[in-house]
């Protein structure tokens, strides 16, 4: 996501901030926290990099190509630094945490490096830079959740918003760098989360997405260490705020999607019937190497349970092709899992070794890149077939859609998402962003449903 900005109308702001965000929704949520911290110090955000006094690049380290893109982007910023020597350029987030001082050594235009748990320290770090020093803070925290900071909604459509409910991850999947870049898992208190959702609803937002590296393991603890609110209970608290406030969540780990969560989703119409179910592989031996804590039969069992409780639930996934030592037969298990599960959507990647992870230390990245790519393409073909089949099955059905704005292709059409997270397009007519409508699906593509509004409704 590039050039993610907002406008702060404070008349006292004289310095301008430009934030560019890469990676997942968690990174976008972090950029919103940073924008809030900077706004409190009088910084006005801008859409134009050339006008900025400070540029922040909020980074992702989950795959090598994500980091390579950031390195390339930093090179493109050199002319701005040359033309405006006092400009401050900072690298934030997961790549900052992983590479630390290497960033300052390899790219001279970088003035400060800030990890995901050190954003409160940015104003002090800026002061150090203004005094002629390079500045770094990548200390991880076991307590930081930014709970009381009200995020500045960046590039907001005024309808949907993210709420970060927890930070970090304890799962230690062997391929993943997140526990090393975002630290140990810790949850926000439920009161602050519910308050943020209430304030968003009062401001006209109609949908919130509860965010975490693994939201289903959310636990609010009392002083004695006892759980006083789990994820299912938090879902219910947010759902009860208002019937016209939709609730989504991301991301999940299959092992933590409890029956209690499923039945809570079933109970409330405004909790969207969509679950992200990242399998990563369909082979039990590979899953063991990945330290995913389940095997392929367990994956199928939990999929069956989800569909038993929530028959119309949309299910998406993540998958990695060509993990260390994966054989052709094991790759075929992933293909078979995709055919069995019939995911609505999937994020599919070839394995990219990340330095410092358990896999990098324990295993050899021994699958040639051309084989990884071929296996990935085979998974993609199956998923495309699944997506087309599932979308075609929606023709003739009526789905509830929250209007998010214009279609990307034409302002004559509107777009929104169904309960199951499908993209839905339909003629604009007199309907407005933020309204709920019933849409009769008339045709489809691989990635979207297309139809016409048959009814305006007040809530899901």
Q: What are the structural domain ranges in the chain?
A: 15-137, 398-457
Q: What is the pLDDT of residue 382?
A: 98
Q: In what order do the strands lie in the sheet with 246-250?
A: 160-164, 207-211, 246-250
Q: Which tens digit of pLDDT belongs to each residue from 326-378? A: 999 999 999 999 999 999 999 999 999 999 999 999 999 999 999 999 999 99
Contact 314, 302 (CB under 8 A): no
What does the pLDDT read at residue 58?
96
**Cα angle, residue 344 at apex, residues 340 and 348 outer, rounded to 5°:** 85
What residue has token string 């299912």?
Answer: 232
The strand pair at 423-427 and 448-457 is best described as parallel
Structure tokens at 196: 């943020």
pLDDT of 452 reads 98
Q: Which residue has tokens 């095997």?
A: 295
Residues of the chain with pLDDT under 50: 1-13
Q: Does domain 398-457 have CATH number 3.40.50.360?
A: no
Instruction: State the pLDDT at residue 2.
Output: 43
Query: What's the confidence (pLDDT) of residue 3?
Result: 44
Domains 15-137 and 398-457 share a fold: no
Give the architecture-level CATH label for domain 15-137.
3-Layer(aba) Sandwich (3.40)
Give the whole-angstrom CA distance, residue 260 versus residue 86. Answer: 54
Q: Going by C-beta distance under 8 Å and a sequence separation of 6 or more, which residues neighbour residue 169? A: 176, 178, 179, 182, 184, 185, 213, 214
Q: What is the pLDDT of residue 199?
A: 97
pLDDT of residue 64: 85
Q: What pLDDT was estimated at residue 5? A: 41
What's the CA angle centered on 261, arms 171 and 186, to 5 degrees? 40
């Amino acid at each position: 996501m590039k050039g993610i900005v907002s406008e702060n109308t404070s008349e006292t702001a004289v310095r301008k901030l430009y934030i560019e965000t890469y990676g997942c929704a968690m990174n976008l949520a972090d950029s919103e926290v940073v924008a809030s911290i900077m706004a409190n110090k009088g910084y006005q955000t801008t859409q134009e990099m050339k006008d900025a006094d400070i540029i922040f690049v909020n980074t992702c380290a989950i795959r090598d190509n994500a980091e390579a893109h950031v390195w390339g982007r930093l090179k493109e910023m050199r002319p701005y630094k040359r033309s405006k020597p006092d400009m401050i350029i900072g690298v934030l987030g997961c790549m900052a945490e992983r590479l630390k001082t290497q960033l300052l050594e390899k790219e001279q235009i970088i003035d400060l490096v800030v990890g995901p748990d050190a954003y409160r320290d940015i104003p002090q770090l800026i002061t150090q830079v203004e005094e002629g020093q390079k500045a770094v803070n990548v200390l991880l925290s076991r307590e930081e959740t930014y709970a009381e900071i009200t995020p500045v909604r960046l590039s907001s459509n005024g309808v949907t918003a993210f709420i970060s409910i927890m930070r970090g991850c304890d799962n230690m999947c062997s391929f993943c760098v997140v526990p090393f870049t975002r630290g140990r898992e810790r949850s926000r208190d439920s009161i602050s989360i519910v308050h943020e959702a209430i304030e968003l609803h009062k401001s006209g937002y109609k949908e919130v997405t509860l965010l975490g590296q693994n939201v289903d393991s959310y636990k609010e603890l009392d002083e004695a260490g006892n759980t006083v609110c789990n994820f299912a209970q938090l879902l219910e608290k947010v759902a009860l705020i208002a019937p016209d406030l939709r609730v989504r969540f991301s991301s999940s780990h299959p092992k933590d999607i409890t029956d209690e969560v499923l039945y809570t989703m079933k109970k409330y119409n405004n909790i969207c019937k969509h679950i992200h179910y990242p399998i990563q592989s369909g082979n039990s031996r590979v899953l063991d190497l990945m330290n995913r804590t389940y095997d392929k039969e367990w994956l199928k069992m939990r999929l069956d349970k989800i569909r038993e409780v929530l028959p119309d639930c949309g299910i998406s996934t993540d998958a990695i092709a060509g993990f260390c030592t994966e054989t052709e037969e094991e790759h075929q298990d992933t293909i078979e899992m995709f055919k069995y599960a019939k995911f609505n959507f999937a994020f599919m990647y070839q394995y990219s070794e990340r330095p410092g992870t358990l896999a990098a230390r324990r295993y050899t990245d021994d699958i040639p890149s051309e084989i990884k790519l071929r296996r990935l393409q085979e998974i993609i073909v199956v998923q495309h077939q699944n997506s087309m089949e599932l979308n075609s099955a929606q023709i003739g059905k009526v789905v509830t859609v929250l209007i998010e704005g214009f279609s990307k292709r034409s302002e004559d059409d509107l777009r929104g998402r169904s309960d199951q997270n499908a993209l839905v397009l339909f003629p604009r007519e007199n309907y407005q962003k933020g309204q709920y409508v019933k849409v009769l699906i008339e045709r489809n593509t691989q990635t979207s449903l297309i139809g016409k509004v048959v009814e305006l409704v007040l809530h899901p």
